[in-house]
Copies of this chain bind each other. A is one copy, B any other.
């Protein structure tokens, strides 16, 4: 590495899936049909009313900066959504509209994490989350999790791994890549524990809404002293709009405001106006129909992967991923993914993108494709496994 490059970049883990994506594009350019099951992005378009709200604002021509914390009316709508959905009071002053969940992570860790301190996370987990910690010269204290705890941290695991340099804990529920939820009891106990340790609790709730058999709890149901990261990208199907939000404990408001002013100025204005339409009854009803379709896709994919011999210790309860153990076929899931792409044109994400914990015997399948497409993928996969 060039001596000019900042040290924080050295431990920035790459996305291995990018290599597969590039190869997939090459193959597509050669005319080969690729079925994409590696993509963490809903295949549905932006709902029409949201689209129209964005269009309407752009037509004014006045696409100016907003307040750094976001449009006041959007912060109020998000606040009402917490009342409606989780029966919790969240003052709009604690809500910051951000450029996606990415922006929310920048603010949350930017105001709370010092270099050298650590944040406890589950392994497997979404790689960006620990790279944000690395960005601030912190360390991630990975804790291996498995099916016995629903691939989630527990209060006990947190307690065992807490050290003098721990600053906080990050929970993601539903989890990416496993799609599993933390239990209400463990969420509550974990928050209580972290609060008692004077640490920061970060709850990544970006897949809320995409939960199939029960309802996910928000960390805000148990404490006001938590950071909650959420996004319009997944459930609301607004990825490219780049708009999310962060909820912060009261005493962080001033620092978060100053940081947002400086590092963002503001979030895309028309995206915020579009998001204003996302909470209408009509839109939520449409989104819930989509959630039902995602549930059907999950069932389809789950049943078929089991049939083919993958091991899935827990049926995922949310998000749009299945983290399947492929040790019946390989002990190098990255090579497996590369071969699958090359030979059958099916793109999936290798486990090593999500950590080190049994990563080489796992593959993440995203069900962000129709059942028809997934049926074709399963057929190809079956052919691949029979070679």
Which of A's residues lie within 8 Å of B, judged by CB?
2-9, 12, 14-15, 18, 41, 45-46, 48, 51, 54-55, 58-66, 99-100, 102, 105-106, 110-115, 127-128, 131-132, 135-137, 198, 200, 238-242, 251-252, 255, 258-259, 261-271
Question: Apart from A100-B264, A240-B270, A242-B267, what are 7 other A-B pairs with CB-CB below 8 Å?
Answer: A4-B198, A5-B111, A6-B110, A45-B61, A102-B262, A241-B268, A270-B270
- Residue numbers in B under 8 Å from A258 (CB-CB): 9, 12, 14
Give CA–CA (A15, B115) in the complex, Å: 26
**Chain B's nearest CB lies how many Å from the CB of A327?**
29
User: In the bound complex, do residue B251 and residue A269 qualify as a contact, i.e. CB atoms below 8 Å apart?
Assistant: no
Interface residue from B12, B58, B266 paired with A55 (Cβ < 8 Å): B58
- Residue numbers in B under 8 Å from A111 (CB-CB): 5-6, 9
User: In the bound complex, do residue A9 and residue B263 qualify as a contact, i.e. CB atoms below 8 Å apart?
Assistant: no
User: In the bound complex, do residue A115 and residue B115 qualify as a contact, i.e. CB atoms below 8 Å apart?
Assistant: yes
User: In the bound complex, do residue B55 and residue A51 qualify as a contact, i.e. CB atoms below 8 Å apart?
Assistant: no
User: In the bound complex, do residue A112 and residue B5 qualify as a contact, i.e. CB atoms below 8 Å apart?
Assistant: yes
- Max chain B C-beta neighbours (<10 A), residue from A63, A111, A198: A63
Give CA–CA (A200, B3) in the complex, Å: 11
Q: 4 smallest A-B Cβ distances: which pairs?
A: A240-B269, A45-B61, A63-B240, A131-B262
Give CA–CA (A112, B7) in the complex, Å: 8
This protein's copies in its complex: 2
- Residue numbers in B under 8 Å from A269 (CB-CB): 240-242
- Residue numbers in B under 8 Å from A262 (CB-CB): 12, 102, 127-128, 131-132, 135
User: In the bound complex, do residue B106 and residue A8 qualify as a contact, i.e. CB atoms below 8 Å apart?
Assistant: no
Give CA–CA (A63, B66) in the complex, Å: 21
Give CA–CA (A181, B383) in the complex, Å: 66
**Chain B's nearest CB lies how many Å from the CB of A23?**
15
- Given A5-B111, A240-B266, check contact A259 B12 (CB 8 Å): yes
- Residue numbers in B under 8 Å from A128 (CB-CB): 261-263, 265
User: In the bound complex, do residue A41 and residue B64 qualify as a contact, i.e. CB atoms below 8 Å apart?
Assistant: yes
- Residue numbers in B under 8 Å from A62 (CB-CB): 45, 240
User: In the bound complex, do residue B63 and residue A259 qualify as a contact, i.e. CB atoms below 8 Å apart?
Assistant: no
User: In the bound complex, do residue B252 and residue A5 qualify as a contact, i.e. CB atoms below 8 Å apart?
Assistant: yes
User: In the bound complex, do residue B255 and residue A242 qualify as a contact, i.e. CB atoms below 8 Å apart?
Assistant: no
- Residue numbers in B under 8 Å from A137 (CB-CB): 115, 137
List 7 A-B residue pairs with CB atoms under 8 Å apart, sorted by A's residue number: A2-B251, A3-B198, A15-B261, A58-B58, A102-B264, A102-B265, A241-B268
Give CA–CA (A140, B315) in the complex, Å: 52
- Given A255-B9, A269-B241, check contact A263 B132 (CB 8 Å): yes
- Residue numbers in B under 8 Å from A99 (CB-CB): 99, 242, 264, 268
**Chain B's nearest CB lies how many Å from the CB of A280?**
17
A113, closest chain B residue (CB): B6
